[in-house]
């Protein structure tokens, strides 16, 4: 069952946290009212994070759970 992270997504860091918690997608809502560029900022920040850490999106989905189980 796909999990979509909703609520409190206002930065690429928030998106990464939701994905590490198991979300395969995130939904951005209220943050658009404060920042119309939020989508490009999340996309850019997430891409930079993945490149810097040599990860793919699939690598980080559920990562927090795998760390706890070890």
Give, as one character, the DSSP assignment of residue 7: S
Q: What's the average model confidence in pLDDT over 29-43?
A: 95
Kindly report the length of the chain: 70
Backbone angles phi and psi of 4, in degrees to 5: -115, 125
Neighbours of 40 (CB within 10 A): 10
Domain residue ranges of the chain, discontinuous segments joined by + = 4-69
- State pTM to two decimals: 0.86
Give, as one character, the DSSP assignment of residue 8: -
Tell me the pLDDT of the chain averaged across its residues.
Answer: 93
Q: Per-residue pLDDT for 53 more than 60?
A: yes
Q: Per-residue pLDDT for 8 more than 80?
A: yes
């Amino acid at each position: 069952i796909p999990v979509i992270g909703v609520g409190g997504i206002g930065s690429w860091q928030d998106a990464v946290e939701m994905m590490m918690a198991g979300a395969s997608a995130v939904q951005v809502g209220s943050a658009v009212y404060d920042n119309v560029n939020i989508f490009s900022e999340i996309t850019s920040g997430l891409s930079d994070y993945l490149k810097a850490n040599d990860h793919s999106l699939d690598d980080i989905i559920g990562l927090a759970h795998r760390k706890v189980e070890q």
